[in-house]
Structure 1
């Protein structure tokens, strides 16, 4: 137990040391106005460098990513059906699917599933 503690202390020490060295060696200047402006061959920019994006599209994308993670978590439940106690498997599956349905209800209640508001 003590060796694990000492190894974690050494790892934290070295990671902090390397971060400190990288911050002191780097030559980044956050206050330089020219570096923060968009580069267009010396001319003034024709339009904004940061185009706006749809926040609703971003939220739909996040819901899709969460849906993918849910599918990844559900898929191992199928092969483990015959390997574990059925009562425990049913309870775990039921609990997981109830959590997913509560999340779906919350998204539906917040009108996040409608593409056009």
Structure 2
């Protein structure tokens, strides 16, 4: 059983040491690459390289807002599957209380999906 009252200073120091060594290593790699890396100044330095073919046309593409909405809805409804996975793994420890909480969570998700359908946020074409 996990006890909240125990506090091990050795674990905190080892975690702090790990974080500091990681940050020092990152800064060292950035510094070493800036010092040791080659530098060239030419007129082709900042042009995009596409398999040796000269770029043609404008690079900014305009997408419909529907692609953004579908992506956001996917992220929202996909993240909830992570919560349900954790709940399903710990079903024995949570018992009925966890079942009721998961049921309420799924109910809120279904209500939000019905709301999105009601306001026609998932329709691609407007009449």
TM over 0.5: yes
What is the distance in 2 between the residues matched to 1:71 and 1:106? 19
Q: Is 2:90 aligned against 1:98?
A: no
Q: Which runs of 4+ in 1 moved over 6 A?
A: none
Q: Which residue of 1 aligns with 2:29?
A: 22
Q: Residues of 2 paired with 1:66 and 1:39: CA distance?
A: 36
Distance between the aligned counterparts of 2:120 and 2:113, measured in 1? 11
Give the number of the structure with larger relative contact order, counting CA–CA contacts within 8 Å between residues 6 or more apart.
1
1:3 aligned partner = 10
- How far apart in 1 are the matches of 2:29 and 2:95? 52
TM-score by length of 1: 0.63
Alpha-carbon displacement from aligned partner over 1:23-77 (angstroms, at most 9, x marks no partner): 1122487xx874432225484x322234333332133134234434434544664
The corresponding residue for 2:69 is: 59
- Partner of 1:36: helix, strand, or coil? coil
Equivalences, count? 112
Query: Gaps (5+ residues) in structure 2?
Result: 1-7
The normalised TM-score by structure 2 is 0.60
Matches for 1:55-94 after TM superposition, within 5 Å: 55-71=65-81, 73-74=83-84, 77=88, 80=91, 85-86=95-96, 88-94=97-103
